[in-house]
């Protein structure tokens, strides 16, 4: 990657991370704080406050991406970050839980992720775009882990209102980041590999393999949000530990989960055993939810359940995008990811709302019975899915290629050893290949065909 590509990728990944930090920081301590607010005795409202951003994010995510094609990436990102900052301020100065719900809803409406992804695509060459997207994905995982540790510590110093205010300030700093650190793209256009295309939605929504994965990310994040309605209360009640010290519970568990996640992912990718690793992680997640249901009032049981949960969660968060990329048609990858991200956001909302409802009316254990049912359904669906091919996506830039030349190039590229799927998009000036590196991929021949067409 060039210095400009690297700077752009790091800057935009940090913007993504700052926004997600604002969403995640409150997770480990919010329920305890919210219960003391007017309306907080109803856990349904606590769950809605936690998950409200998911609903508005799901609604506005794809429209923001489409708007960035028309009005410009940076303008849409500025607008989204301003909306997010306004929502943070509303939540910071809220006097009751209803205003917090409103603030969280406004936060979610600043859904800039699709616009940020499109800007990354504008600022990186095709052959390096996967690295840039990986930076964003890694930032989200790191942000979530840091939030579980920083949230309780920040709560001790500035409280939940202070955390909301801090996230508003960070959003304003992110605007300066976009303005002064992120270059303006020389050319801004649609990218099939990074953006959702409305015309492709029907194709993606009819794909049974992708639907299985969409249900999976929905279930995973529904369970995550439902869990955080209950677990802060459960840790405090079972151990007597002040919520500001809950980071001591999460830190060793997170370290353990990351240590175990890495070899699992490497094994799945290198040995073409991704489905086995995937199914094993869902099974572990199901066991974690069942154990939660039976031991949510026992501190040791909570610790064991959390350990299983985070090991499984980290593996699934890492493998799901990889499987999406392998399964989605090359020409519809951006649309498949857009639908996937939308169902993830819907899972956040549904999990928060149902988790709060079940906790309030049926007790803590009922929340994890619900999560266990979700995981059992997911396990059945995942077990019947096709094993993803051991392929990787590669993209190549094309110079002013005609539609006829693009068709001829696609035919030639399809004959190259190791190439499983070929799409040549003349209007975007790219060739997208799914290749099997293990069976032997003749990239020199691919480059020779591309050089001839250029």
Residue-level pLDDT at 55: 96
Residues in the chain: 454
Domains 1-190 and 201-389 share a fold: yes
- 430 beta partners: 397, 425
Residue pair 329/291 in contact by the 8 Å Cβ criterion? no
Residues 6+ apart with CB under 8 A from 2: none
Q: Which long-range contacts (CB under 8 A, 24 or more apart) does 341-345 make?
A: 341/61, 341/113, 341/114, 342/58, 342/61, 342/62, 343/58, 343/214, 343/215, 343/217, 343/218, 344/217, 344/218, 344/220, 344/221, 345/54, 345/55, 345/57, 345/58, 345/61, 345/108, 345/221
Residue-level pLDDT at 454: 67
Residues 6+ apart with CB under 8 A from 162: 92, 154
Residue-level pLDDT at 246: 94
Residue in the block written with tokens 């994965």: 213
Residue-level pLDDT at 395: 83
Calculate the alpha carbon distances from 414 to 297, 407, 410 in Å.
58, 11, 6
Residues 6+ apart with CB under 8 A from 214: 339, 340, 343
Question: What percent of the residues of the chain are helix, what percent strand, and what percent coil, each to the nearest 5?
Answer: 75, 5, 20
Residue-level pLDDT at 292: 96
Residue-level pLDDT at 358: 97
Residue pair 363/237 in contact by the 8 Å Cβ criterion? no
Residue-level pLDDT at 386: 87
The CATH class of the 1-190 domain is mainly alpha
- Per-residue exposure over 425-434, b if at least 16 CB sit within 10 Å of its own CB, e if not: bbebbbbbbb
Q: Where are the beta strands (DSSP E) in 187-291?
A: none
Q: Kindly give the confidence (pLDDT) of every residue in the chain, 454 residues in length, as a single tens digit, with 9 standing for 90 and above.
A: 788 888 888 888 888 888 788 788 999 999 999 999 998 899 999 999 999 999 999 999 989 988 988 899 999 999 999 999 999 999 999 999 999 999 999 999 998 888 888 888 888 877 777 788 778 877 878 888 889 999 999 999 999 999 999 999 989 988 998 998 888 887 777 777 778 888 888 889 999 999 999 999 999 999 999 999 999 999 999 999 999 999 999 999 999 998 988 899 888 888 878 899 999 999 999 999 999 999 999 999 999 999 999 999 999 988 888 888 888 887 788 888 999 999 999 999 999 999 999 999 999 999 999 999 999 999 999 999 888 877 888 888 888 888 888 888 888 888 888 888 888 888 888 888 888 867 777 888 888 888 877 6
Residue pair 144/151 in contact by the 8 Å Cβ criterion? no
Report how far residue 44's alpha carbon sits from residue 97's, in angstroms, rounded to the nearest whole number.
Answer: 11
Alpha helices in 296-402 (DSSP H): 299-327, 333-362, 364-383
Question: Quick one: CA dihedral 240, 242, 246, 252, positive or negative?
Answer: negative
Radius of gyration of the chain (CA): 22
Q: Residue 70's CB: how many other CB atoms inside 10 A?
A: 8
Q: Which two tokens stand for residue 16?
A: 């993504």
Domain boundaries, the chain: 1-190, 201-389, 392-453
Look up the CATH number of domain 392-453: 3.30.70.100
Look up the CATH number of domain 201-389: 1.20.1250.20
Question: Quick one: CA dihedral 221, 222, 223, 227, positive or negative?
Answer: positive
pTM above 0.95, yes or no: no
């Amino acid at each position: 990657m060039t210095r400009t590509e690297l700077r752009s990728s790091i800057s935009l990944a940090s913007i993504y991370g700052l926004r997600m930090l604002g969403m995640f920081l409150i997770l480990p301590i919010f329920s305890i704080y919210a219960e003391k607010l007017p309306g907080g005795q109803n856990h349904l409202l606590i769950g809605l406050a936690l998950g409200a951003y998911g609903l508005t994010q799901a609604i506005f995510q794809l429209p923001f991406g489409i708007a960035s094609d028309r009005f410009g990436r940076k303008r849409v990102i500025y607008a989204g970050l301003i909306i997010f900052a306004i929502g943070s301020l509303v939540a910071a100065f809220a006097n009751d839980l209803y205003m917090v719900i409103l603030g969280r809803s406004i936060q979610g409406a600043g859904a800039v992720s699709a616009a940020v992804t499109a800007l990354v695509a504008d600022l990186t060459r095709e052959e390096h775009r996967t690295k840039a997207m990986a930076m964003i994905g890694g930032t989200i995982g790191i942000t979530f882990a840091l939030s579980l540790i920083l949230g309780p510590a920040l709560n001790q110093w500035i409280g939940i209102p202070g955390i909301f205010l801090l996230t508003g300030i960070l959003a304003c700093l992110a605007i300066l980041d976009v303005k002064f650190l992120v270059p303006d793209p020389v050319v801004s256009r649609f990218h099939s590999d990074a953006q959702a295309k409305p015309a492709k939605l029907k194709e993606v929504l009819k794909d049974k393999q992708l639907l299985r994965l969409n249900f999976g990310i929905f279930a995973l994040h529904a369970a995550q949000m439902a869990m955080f309605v209950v677990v802060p209360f459960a840790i405090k009640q079972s151990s007597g530990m002040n919520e500001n010290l809950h980071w001591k519970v999460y830190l060793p568990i997170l370290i353990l989960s990351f240590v175990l996640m890495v070899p699992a992912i490497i094994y799945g990718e290198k040995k073409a055993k991704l489905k086995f690793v995937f199914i094993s992680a869902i099974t572990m997640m199901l066991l974690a939810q069942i154990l939660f249901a039976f031991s949510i009032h026992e501190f040791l049981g909570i610790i064991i359940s959390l350990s299983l949960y985070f090991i499984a969660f980290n593996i699934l968060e890492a493998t799901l995008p990889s499987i999406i990329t392998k399964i989605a048609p090359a020409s519809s990858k951006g649309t498949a990811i857009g639908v996937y991200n939308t169902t993830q956001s819907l899972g956040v909302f549904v999990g928060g709302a149902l988790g709060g409802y079940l906790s309030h009316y049926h007790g803590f254990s009922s929340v994890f019975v619900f999560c266990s049912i979700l995981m059992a359904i997911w396990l059945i669906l995942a077990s019947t899915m096709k094993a993803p091919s051991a392929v990787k996506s590669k993209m190549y830039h094309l110079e002013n290629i005609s539609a006829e030349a693009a068709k001829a190039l696609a035919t030639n590229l399809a004959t190259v050893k190791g190439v499983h799927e070929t799409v040549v998009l003349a209007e975007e000036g790219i060739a997208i290949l799914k290749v099997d590196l293990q069976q032997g991929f003749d990239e020199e021949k691919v480059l020779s065909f591309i050089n001839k067409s250029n």
